[in-house]
Each structure stands twice: as structure tokens, then as C-alpha cells.
Amino acid sequence: MNRNKAAVIIANGQFPKHPIPLSYIREAEYIVCCDGAADGFITGGGIPNAIVGDCDSISQENRVRFSGILHPDPDQEINDLTKSVRFCVENGRKEIVIVGGTGKREDHTLGNISLLAEYEKMAKVVMVTDWGVFTPIRSAAEFKSYRGEQVSIFAIDPKALTTHNLKYPIDGRILTNWWQGSLNESLGDSFSIDPKGRVIVFQVFR
């Protein structure tokens, strides 16, 4: 992920406090706010490049002030985060960092994390939280790491996966519940995962 070229989407979860997600916002050349997150970001001094969603959450003042960058999407079958990802892809931005995707309501958090598996089909995407980074994959991938890094693997599809250089190896196993691949640990400066289906990997910040 080239952080200087990646679009940053600010979702309507808990606004980050950790310096790593904050640095993505600070250094972003293009920021998309889900409309529910726009008021808070603007009040804090931020200026988005686009505001996307059903636009029923943004204040009337900001609706007028930022009318030129409002992109309403009335589709009620998808959430504002998905609308924002699609907006980025349709505008040629296929490297995406999502912040503010977790926190507040647990149902929204779980939904947003699971959606990463759908977004991976469209773009190179990660979700950065105050605790670490979620990365969706569906084929063999190697991850930069460090000895002792905490790693969790969440299988979306009930298909076999194999890991390399993790403390608790998984060899051709089908994970049938999200807890089964959690709380693992890297043994060195990298590890790899070879899945047969969709997987979401979480790496905890040092």
C-alpha cells in the first residue's frame, strides 16, 4: 500500500486516537467522508475532498457549505462505507485506507470488518484502527511483521488455509468460527498465509 497515493475513507465509527491511523488522515492527498462522519471531521478542522452516502446525517450548514463535493447515493441495500469504497473505485482510486470503521456499535463494527472481503475484489484496501490493521486476502500473501507480533486470522469462507512462520501453525485446516484463527503470533520479520477462500488478517500494533 502506497500511503501517499491511497485514498482515506473516514467511516462513522469511533474517530481514531492512535498516531498511526491519524497519520494516514494527516498525510492523505484525498479524503472521503461517509456522510455520518463528515460533521465531526469538519468540526475538528478537517476538509474532505468528497462526502458520500445517503446524506441524511450531515448538518444543513455543511450540506450547503460543501454542496460541491456532496455525492448522494440513495441505495438502501448497501451502507455508506460501501458507497464510499465504490465511489473511490469509480473515480480511479483503487488503493484505499479505511479509518473510523470500528467502535461505537458492535454490529456496525462486525459488518464493516466483514465487508473488507467484498472490497478486496474491487481494490487494494486495509482498515486501520486504534489497535492494528485488518487486511483482506483471497490468495497466498506474505506480510511484513516482527517477532512476537500478535496476529489473528478470520476465515470468511469454510475453506482450507495454511500458514507459515506463525507460532501456532495451521496446515490445510478449515476454520469454522472466527475465534479459531485468533490470537496467533509471528515468529519473525514476516509470515505468510495460503488460503483457498476469503480471509481477513489482523495485525496488532507494536
Per-residue pLDDT tens digits for 47-96: 999 999 988 889 999 999 999 999 998 888 899 999 999 999 999 999 99
Cα distance between residue 180 and residue 194, in whole Å: 16
The set of residues, in sequence order, having a beta carbon less than 8 Å from that of 35 and lying 6+ positions away, is 12, 51, 52, 53, 54, 55, 56, 57, 58, 70, 80
Its pTM stands at: 0.95
The set of residues, in sequence order, having a beta carbon less than 8 Å from that of 50 and lying 6+ positions away, is 30, 31, 32, 33, 69, 71, 87
CA angle (125, 129, 135) in 5-degree steps: 30
106 pLDDT band, cuts 50/70/90, is: very high
Instruction: Name the residue among 143, 153, 155, 154 with its Cα closest to residue 187.
Output: 143
DSSP 166-185: BSS---SEEP-SGGGG-SEE
Q: If you average pLDDT over residues 12-16, what whole number do you get?
A: 95
Yes or no: say if 163 and 169 are a contact pair by the CB < 8 Å rule: yes
Cα distance between residue 12 and residue 14, in whole Å: 7
CA 72, 124, 180, 186 dihedral sign is negative
Residue 110: helix, strand or coil by DSSP? Answer: helix
pLDDT given for residue 75 in this prediction? 84
| Residue whose C-alpha cell is 482515506 | 8
pLDDT given for residue 4 in this prediction? 64
Amino acid at 185: E
Between the two ends of the chain, the Cα-to-Cα distance in Å is: 19
Check pLDDT > 80 for residue 2. no
pLDDT tens readout for residues 144-200: 999 999 999 999 999 999 999 999 999 999 999 999 999 999 999 999 999 999 999
Name all domains of the chain by residue range, CATH numbers in brackets. Answer: 7-131 (3.40.50.10240), 138-204 (2.60.120.320)
pLDDT tens readout for residues 17-54: 999 999 999 999 999 999 989 999 999 999 999 999 98
Check pLDDT > 70 for residue 8. yes
Cα distance between residue 122 and residue 88, in whole Å: 10
Strands 173-174 and 160-164: antiparallel
Q: Phi first, then psi: what are they for 93, rounded to 5°? A: -105, 100
Cα distance between residue 26 and residue 24, in whole Å: 6
Q: If you average pLDDT over residues 124-130, what whole number do you get?
A: 98
pLDDT given for residue 51 in this prediction? 96
